[in-house]
């Protein structure tokens, strides 16, 4: 159940929080109150993985009427998760998973890596799908309609990044559920192009008249029926589709690696969900733009994915359809400390201990992703039992990081 947190003014929209307000950083509470005080905001739902963000609080769901804040969406437009259950069981995996991890890393570029030879996109077929993925021609035609000052001369690079992981908290994993069934899972977004489009529109929004007296300039908005809003929506929805397709390509590449290693493997239908994005939805008869910044859609029956960290469990969930939360749930465990704090507090030896039993990087480059830098995923799940039900609990045995 949620707690209602008072806004900063008598005209503020309601802030409904699925977390203990005492556990939330004061700066994050201030961010939430600032967004609730905007005249276009119709409500804010706060997930149990809430923590301070740039622009808007991570783990927040913001419903606005006739407006959207590009900084609240963030720069990794369309970031999200994909997963698929296989027919493989734990006892069919090799004792030494290092070779499998290496082959995944060879198939899916990580960090700043790209597909220099490109990927045959017309052959991409998500695991469990009956036909190859369609619509590539129309999708790339859409690229030519994006903001030209951002995209000029970048078509090649954007194509090369399709089907790549990136860095930070993005990952590719082999997981086991409670029955020992193997699942494939990955986390990524819209790569460089999403970041660049977002940065452009965030700067445009800051210059507009309606945003000159905001408490927080990062909450600058575009208004409906303006050319700036039209341009942002065009680029935003294209970048969200790029992110969806990027994950689909990676999941296909991942499944092809597994087919070569385990020729008899089969796959269920893949699950995919954004957790940094905007959707057009209706609540109480009002059409709103819902920004989920670190939150997944969890309408009744929706399947979603809530990951922990590189050494803890993750969850496949089914939405319960809670309108008070704008049909949403958390996007993960949520950080409890910044990357800088994690690097200061933890060592490589700590990382080795906290990722014991997981075939993954154990070096200074990923110390900031150590499980101890994140909230306890079980506690996060316990705070949202009215938002989702657990379908499967997973634990990784292989984790590939950028």
401 is in an annotated binding site: yes
H-state helical runs in 120-273 = 136-143, 148-151, 155-161, 191-206, 227-261
135 is in an annotated binding site: no
CB 173 within 8 A of CB 369: no
Locate tokens 């995209």: which residue? 151
Provide the pairing of β-strand 181-188 with 80-89.
Answer: antiparallel
C-alpha distances out from residue 391 to 114, 126, 151, 312, 354, Å: 34, 21, 41, 17, 26
Catalytic residue, candidates 51, 201, 274, 331: 331
Could you give the dihedral angle defined by the CA atoms of residues 78, 31, 66 and 297, in that order, rounded to the nearest 10 degrees? 40
d(CA 164, CA 142): 20
d(CA 273, CA 244): 8
275 is in an annotated binding site: yes
H or E segment at 188?
strand 181-188
- What angle separates helix 227-261 from helix 98-107, to the nearest 10 degrees? 140
276 is in an annotated binding site: yes
Using CB atoms within 10 A of its CB, is residue 119 exposed (0-12), middle (13-18) or buried (19+)? middle
333 is in an annotated binding site: yes
Quote the tokens at residue 111.
Answer: 């960090």
Q: Is 51 a catalytic residue?
A: no
Quote the tokens at residue 239.
Answer: 């970048």
314 is in an annotated binding site: yes
375 is in an annotated binding site: no
d(CA 30, CA 10): 15
H or E segment at 307?
none
d(CA 7, CA 37): 7
CB 29 within 8 A of CB 12: no
Quote the tokens at residue 92.
Answer: 């069919």
* Residue list for the binding site for Mn(2+): 76, 170, 187, 275
* Residue list for the binding site for GMP: 169-173, 275-276, 307-310, 314, 331-334, 401
What positions carry a catalytic annotation? 331
* Residue list for the binding site: 76, 169-173, 187, 275-276, 307-310, 314, 331-334, 401
């Amino acid at each position: 159940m949620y707690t209602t947190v008072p806004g900063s003014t008598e005209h503020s929209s309601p802030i409904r929080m699925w977390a203990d307000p005492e556990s939330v950083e004061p700066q994050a509470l201030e961010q939430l109150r600032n967004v609730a005080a905007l005249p276009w905001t119709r409500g804010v739902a706060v997930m149990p993985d809430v923590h301070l963000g740039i622009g808007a609080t991570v783990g927040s769901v913001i419903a606005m009427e006739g407006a959207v804040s590009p900084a609240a969406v963030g720069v990794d437009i369309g970031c999200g998760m994909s997963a698929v259950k296989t027919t493989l069981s734990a006892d069919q995996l090799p004792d030494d998973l290092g070779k499998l991890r290496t082959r995944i890393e060879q198939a899916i570029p990580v960090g700043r890596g790209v597909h220099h030879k490109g990927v045959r996109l017309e052959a991409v077929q998500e695991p469990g799908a009956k036909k190859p993925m369609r619509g590539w021609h129309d999708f790339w035609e859409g690229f030519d309609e994006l903001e030209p000052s951002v995209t000029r001369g970048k078509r090649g690079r954007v194509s090369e990044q399709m089907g790549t992981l990136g860095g930070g908290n993005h990952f590719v994993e082999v997981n086991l559920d409670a029955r020992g069934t193997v699942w494939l899972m990955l986390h990524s977004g819209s790569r460089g192009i999403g970041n660049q489009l977002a940065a452009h529109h965030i700067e445009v929004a800051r210059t507009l008249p309606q945003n000159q007296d905001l408490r927080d300039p990062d909450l600058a908005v575009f208004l409906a029926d303006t050319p700036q809003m039209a341009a942002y929506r065009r680029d935003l929805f294209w970048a969200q589709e790029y992110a969806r397709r990027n994950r689909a390509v990676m999941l296909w590449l991942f499944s092809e690696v597994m087919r070569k290693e385990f020729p008899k493997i089969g796959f269920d239908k893949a699950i995919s969900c954004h957790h940094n994005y905007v959707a057009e939805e209706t609540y109480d008869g009002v059409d709103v733009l819902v920004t989920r910044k670190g939150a997944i859609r969890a309408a009744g029956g929706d399947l979603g994915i809530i990951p922990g960290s590189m050494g803890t469990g993750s969850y496949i969930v089914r939405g319960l359809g809670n309108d008070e939360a704008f049909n949403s749930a958390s996007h993960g465990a949520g950080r409890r400390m910044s990357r800088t704090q994690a690097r200061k507090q933890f060592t490589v030896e700590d990382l080795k201990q906290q990722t014991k039993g997981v075939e993954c990087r154990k070096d200074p480059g990923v110390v900031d992703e150590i499980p101890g830098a994140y909230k306890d995923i079980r506690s996060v799940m316990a705070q949202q039992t009215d938002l989702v039900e657990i379908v499967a609990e997973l634990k990784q045995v292989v984790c590939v990081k950028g």
